[in-house]
Amino acid sequence: MRTAEAPEGRRDIRLVAVGASTGGPLVLQTFLSGIPKNFPVPIAVVQHIAPGFLSGLGDWLTRTTGYPVHIASQGEHLQAGHAYLAPDGFQISLDKSFKTVLSGNTKEYTLCPSVSHFFKSLIPVFREKMAGVLMTGMGRDGADELKLMKDAGAVTIAQDKETSVVHGMPGEAIKIGGAVFVLPSDKIAGKIVNLVTGHAGA
């Protein structure tokens, strides 16, 4: 599925931002397996997961995909060709120099880290020069903010219902017109690679 105004080919994308919840680890594995090791922009991920399991997730993703995955730390400069997971118990955002800013939770968000907080914080910094991806998950965390990303000119992708374990988050984004592309899990990486590099993805 592709909306009529969706662009094709290479875009000036400096960051790929991903949100996922229930069922996310396997989709992230599929996604990162399709990203080339010389990918020219960083990938930042908010994945809802029980406290204490994030380090194991990062190690597992690195081992099974060959793509370097790290848990982001305060003030870390995100590097191209690497993926970063938001740490347990912190809201995450980025400044214009791609350095992480970690903060405590506020009453505005029930989840910490929150996809909504992360996506919303990126809009004034990167505007159209980013891609937002919302994957399988319960609820609507990140759905409204994916729409705000799209409205700011960013490329946005929502995972389709057929390949989602739970189609809450991406489904809500689709309902409100927040997705430029709606794709199955095994096609997301290829689309991102095409948009960032202009080359066909795996």
Known catalytic residues are 21, 48, 141
Kindly state the tokens that stand for 155. Answer: 């490329």
Angstrom distance (rounded) from CA 133 to CA 50: 21
Cα separations (Å) of 99 from 37, 49, 144?
A: 21, 23, 24
Taking the CB of residue 129, how many other CB atoms lie within 10 A of it?
A: 17
Kindly state the tokens that stand for 116. Answer: 């909504």
Q: Which residues does 13 contact at the CB level (< 8 Å), separation at least 6?
A: 41, 129, 130, 131, 155, 195, 196
Q: Which helix (H) or strand (E) holds 85?
A: strand 83-85
Kindly state the tokens that stand for 176. Answer: 């409100």
Three-state SS letters, 19-83: EECCCHHHHHHHHHHCCCCCCCCCEEEEECCCCCCHHHHHHHHHHHHCCCEEECCCCCECCCCCE
CA angle 134–140–146, rounded 5-degree value: 45
